[in-house]
Amino acid sequence: MKIAIVHDYLNQYGGAERVIEVFSELFPTASIFTSIFDKDRLPPIFGQMNIKTSFMQRFPFLDKHFKKYLLFYPKAIESFNLSGYDLVLSSSSAFAKGAIKDKNTCHICYCYTPMRFVWDYGSYVEKEDFGKLTRKILPLAIKKLKKWDIATIDRVDYYVAISNYIKERIRNCYKRKAEVIYPPVNVKNFNIASKTEDYFLIVSRLNAYKNIDLVIDVFNDLGLNLKIVGTGPYRKTLESMVKNKNIEFLGRLDDISLKEIYSKCRAYIFPGKEDFGITPIEAQANGRPVIAFADGGALETVLDGETGLFFGENSKDALIETVKRFLKIESSFDRNKIRENALRFDRDIFKKKIVDFINYKYRDYKNKAI
């Protein structure tokens, strides 16, 4: 089977790029098509992959201004010549699902979410620091992108959702069914520490929508120690909110340091509404409980009262109440049971499920074509 993998863009390293790593392991001879590729922002293993970029790779200032080229991404994905491939496997949170295939080619989309800035425009831009001109022009661009997104829904033969939450979004936005296969997490790379230290933890890209400002506000008041790992455009704003020395920004950490800081935290704080959320699973793989906002993917990865606690409202009072409740029952959490919950998201489980799904649906597609 000749396979083409299509991914939105490769200029940052997150959960979607970890999926591409696994796809590349499973299908090492596959070509990986993507709009732009910034190898300096990705692990060295990506330099060994057969990555093919679009005309956008020649655009100037991509490192800082790739978002300004928003309307070019659909054409970039559509420009790829995918003739001669038996299977197109798209990895999509925005554009890759719109890849154009041969009529006899099966297209399976691993969907992280329907294009969020199109379908949830209001909440997406709420905290973004856009200028007046951008806020005036952007709705026109979004309207055009939504029209394209709807027009390309049926270029996909089979959808796979990263969570039940996204399965419902696919049904609501695209009117299509999807099967759920949770993304791969390197849970076996994490271990339970013999003792913990006196701090709570966040590991995240420092973007406005991550809701980290809420946590800083809470920990300013509570005076409890909080460590924040990660980088991003919202860092300076978040740092300016800190009132005391109990809140520390650590920037980006190497894998060894990250594992250690996960394993020794009192609890992991996950304040945002995410489509899935890998970091709460990584924390649980270390046997650490999670305090999470009760919405999105966290409802599928954290067991309330067993591997963590939920706060039901996106408010300061709700999070303060939940942290205080955690302090009262902190010793009751069983680190081995917490880790056991994380093991169901292991990479090997993902590999088996995605290969079985691809083989089954590919046969189904070919049988329908006969």
Judge if 168 and 149 occupy the same domain.
yes
Q: pLDDT by residue (tens digit) across 113-128?
A: 999 889 987 766 665 6
Domain match, 193 and 175 both: no
| pLDDT at residue 136, as a whole number | 79
- Chain centroid to Cα 63, Å, comes to 20
Q: 129: how many CB neighbours lie within 10 A of its CB?
A: 10
pLDDT in tens, 240-279: 999 999 999 999 999 899 999 999 999 999 999 999 999 9
Report the alpha-carbon distance of residue 311 to residue 295 in Å, rounded.
9
Q: Is the pLDDT of residue 133 over 80?
A: no
Does the pLDDT of residue 85 top 80, yes or no? yes
- The verdict on 147 and 255 lying in the same domain is no
Three-point CA angle 30, 11, 343, nearest 5°: 70
CB-neighbour burial class of residue 156 (10 A; exposed 0-12, middle 13-18, buried 19+): buried
Amino acid 126: pLDDT: 63
In the chain, what is the straight-line distance between the N-terminal and C-terminal CA atoms, in Å?
18
Structure tokens given for 241: 């909110």
- Res 39 pLDDT > 90: yes
Q: What angle do CA 181, 184, 186 make, to 5 degrees?
A: 155
Of 35-44, 61-70, 316-325, minimum mean pLDDT range: 61-70
Does the pLDDT of residue 129 top 80, yes or no?
no
Q: How far apart are CA 18 and CA 210, in angstroms?
A: 20
Selection from 160, 194, 196 nearest residue 180 by Cα: 160
pLDDT-derived band at 209 (thresholds 50, 70, 90) equals confident
Query: Residue 57's domain is classified under what CATH number?
Result: 3.40.50.2000
- Shared domain for 196 and 337, answered yes or no, is yes
The two most distant CA atoms of the chain are separated, in Å, by 68
Verify that 204 and 75 share a domain, yes or no.
no
**Cα(370)–Cα(358) distance, integer angstroms:** 18
Same domain, 73 and 195: no
| 112 shares its domain with 54 | yes
For residue 150, give the H/E element and its range: helix 132-151
Quote the pLDDT of residue 63: 87
Contacts for 178 with CB less than 8 Å, ≥ 6 apart:
111, 159, 160, 161, 166, 167, 170, 171
Instruction: List, for residues 146-181, the tens digit of each pLDDT value.
Output: 999 999 999 999 999 999 999 999 999 999 999 999
Question: Do 217 and 154 have their domain in common?
Answer: no
Q: What is the pLDDT of residue 125?
A: 65
What's the pLDDT tens digit per position in 288-347?
Answer: 999 999 999 999 999 999 999 999 999 999 999 999 999 999 999 999 999 999 999 999
Tokens of 356: 């079985």
Residue 336: CB atoms within 10 A of its CB come to 8
370: pLDDT strictly greater than 80: no
> Is 135 a residue whose pLDDT tops 80?
no
On whether both 87 and 15 belong to a single domain, the answer is: yes
Residue 137 predicted with pLDDT over 90: no
Q: Residue 134 has what pLDDT?
A: 73
Clarify whether residues 312 and 364 are in a common domain. no
Number of domains making up the chain = 2
Q: What is the mean pLDDT of the chain?
A: 94
Mean pLDDT computed over 16-21: 96
297 contacts: CB under 8 Å, gap ≥ 6: 162, 163, 165, 166, 274, 275, 276, 277
Helix, strand, coil percent content, the chain, rounded in steps of 5: 50, 15, 35
Per the confidence metrics, is the pTM higher than 0.85? yes
**Inter-residue contact 280 to 274 (CB < 8 Å):** no
C-alpha span between 22 and 161 (Å, rounded)? 16
Quote the CA–CA distance of 218 and 323 in Å, as a whole number: 9
- Domain residues for the domain of 253 are 187-345
- Tens-place pLDDT, residues 216-231: 999 999 999 999 999 9
Same domain, 341 and 351: no
* Same domain, residue pair 111 and 236: no
Length of the chain: 370
Name the β-bridge partners of 232: none
Q: Which two tokens stand for residue 267?
A: 């609890």
